[in-house]
Amino acid sequence: MPHRSPGAPGHTGGNYLSGKVIKYYRPRGSADVRHLIDHGFQAFNAGRLSEACSIFTEKMLLPEHDTTIGLTVAGALTPAGLGGCVIEMMERGLVDFIISTGANLYHDLHYALNFSLHRGSPFLDDVELYEQGIIRIYDVLFPATVLLETDAYIRDFLVRSKISGAMATSEFHYRLGLDLLEKNPGCEAYSVVAHAAKMGVPIYTSSPGDSSIGMNIAYHELMNGGTLMIDPNRDVNEVCAIILAGKKNGCVILGGGSPKNFYLQGQPTLWEVYGIPKGGNDYFIQFTTDQVVWGGLSGATPAEAVSWGKVNPGVLPDTVVTYVDSTIGFPLFCEYVVGAEHGRRPRKELIHKREAMVADLLQQARQAGDEKPIQDEPPEIDRHR
């Protein structure tokens, strides 16, 4: 029995769940939104959003650039219904891999399993909500039973699949996605995790213990003697290998948090640790509400990232930070991108290429090691490529 029961007996959530069900919105390339962004968003953060749209559609998506695009996801975005934007981007080959907080992936499973999250109000009595067995994420409301039943599905998956041994989070999420597709056919239209498995998009989590998915994996180990071991080293090497294999590299960063760094550390890992002179990112787009003045990574600008070798110094015009709530900025951005000339491209399906890419990383790292001077001088980085 869970320590915290989902509401006192006889309580049903009352009126709290009478708000509309939150659905995953799929952007459709609206010409009016494109017109607004091109002609109406001219200055301040509207101007930056317009710039982000231009960098993505006119540079990152140019076929000759063949940019490998990483999307990082932090903040309560799947609970707010933004999973549909991510699904549309994957479907169109516009996102090649994802790094997300575990929370977003966990809450995505509710949609895959056909549970409902509701629109509500941020101004509610949380003691009353607790008594009614209602969970609140700002103005998103859902019954605690959604958590319990989603947890039960994860534990059931862990037992049924006999998943074991050390593995990257990309492999774990891929198998979880395949299971969802088998168990709930058609759920890929409503789930980032299931859709990613179908589209061959690897999903990584930068802090695997920090979500209800991690909590249930821990349960499985303690209670069932499960031997599944999430191996962050594999994640680090796979992300590095993906970046190394990219002709050009670019990112769309939603929020900040650990997914942002997990993506951006790829290039320093290549030059600082493996001695491979790959150079930094070519394109950098961030939607954030975080500020630079606190010194945290979440609010750090692309200019600061240059000093770490995370961003190529010569490409600062191809970087932009839009100070906007992602729940506003990202759907507008996706609507624009979907309607763009290159708003669809062949999918890279990196999930099936991970082994080959890591083998290439190993080979290049060995080569760099052989060529390393005895004095261990820092390698010269071709930052302009």
For residue 51, report the phi and psi dihedrals to the nearest 5 degrees. -65, -40
Residue 164: CB atoms within 10 A of its CB come to: 12
Q: Is 148 in the site for ligand NAD (CB under 6 A)?
A: no
Among 256, 275, 280, 331, binds ligand NAD (CB under 6 A): 256
**Active site (annotated) includes residue 310:** yes
Of 83 and 275, the one with the shorter C-beta distance to ligand NAD is 83
Which DSSP symbol is given to 263? H
Q: Measured from the CB of residue 292, what is the shortest distance to ligand NAD in angstroms?
A: 12
Question: Residue 22 interacts with ligand NAD (CB under 6 A)?
Answer: no
CB 136 within 8 Å of CB 124 = yes
The nearest distance, CB 289 to ligand NAD, in angstroms, is 4
Residue 288 φ/ψ, nearest 5 degrees:
-155, 160
Q: Residue 261 CB, nearest distance to ligand NAD (Å)?
A: 11
Examine residue 216 and tell whether it contacts ligand NAD (CB under 6 A): no
Cβ proximity to ligand NAD: between 90 and 254 the closer is 254
Among 298, 319, 322, 364, binds ligand NAD (CB under 6 A): 298
String marking each residue 38-67 x if it binds ligand NAD according to CB under 6 A = ------------------------------
**Which is closer to ligand NAD, CB of 116 or CB of 379?**
116
Binding mask 326-345 for ligand NAD (x = CB under 6 A): xx------------------
d(CA 193, CA 181): 10
Q: Are 216 and 151 in contact (CB under 8 A)?
A: yes
> Comparing C-alpha atoms, which of 197, 234, 228, 235 is closest to residue 213?
228
Torsion of CA 137, 142, 147, 153, to 10 degrees: -130
CB atoms under 10 Å from CB of 169, counted, come to 27
Q: Does 76 bind ligand NAD (CB under 6 A)?
A: yes
Of residues 310, 348, 353, 372, which has the active-site annotation? 310
Q: Which residues inside 101-120 make contact with ligand NAD, applying CB under 6 A?
A: 101-104, 106
Does 209 engage in binding with ligand NAD (CB under 6 A)?
no
- Rg, C-alpha atoms of the chain: 21
Q: Using CA of residue 285, residue 287, residue 292, residue 297, what is the dihedral sign? A: negative
Closer CB to ligand NAD, 211 or 281, in the complex = 211
Binding range to ligand NAD, per CB under 6 A, among 2-10, 189-197, 319-327, 359-367: 319-327
Q: Least distance in Å: CB of 2 to ligand NAD?
A: 14
Segment near ligand NAD (CB under 6 A), from 21-29, 69-77, 113-121, 152-160?
A: 69-77
Q: Kindly state whether residue 95 participates in binding ligand NAD, applying the rule CB under 6 A.
A: no
DSSP 52-88: HHHIIIIIIT-TTT-EEEEEEE-SSTTTTTTHHHHHH
Among 281, 288, 319, 322, binds ligand NAD (CB under 6 A): 288
Q: How far is the CB of 59 from ligand NAD (least distance, A)?
A: 23
**Strand 248-254 to strand 67-73: parallel, antiparallel, or no bridges (unpaired)?**
parallel
Closest distance to ligand NAD from the beta carbon of 104 (Å): 5
145 binds ligand NAD (CB under 6 A): no
CB-side neighbour CA atoms (13 Å) of 376:
3
Task: Confirm if 252 and 72 have CB atoms less than 8 A apart.
Answer: yes
Which helix (H) or strand (E) covers residue 322, if one does?
Answer: strand 319-323
Angstrom CA distances, 123 to 128, 289, 325, stand at 12, 22, 19
Nearest distance in Å: CB 49, ligand NAD: 13
Residues that bind ligand NAD in the complex, under the rule CB under 6 A: 74-76, 101-104, 106, 137, 210-212, 255-257, 287-290, 298, 325-327
Residues involved in catalysis: 310
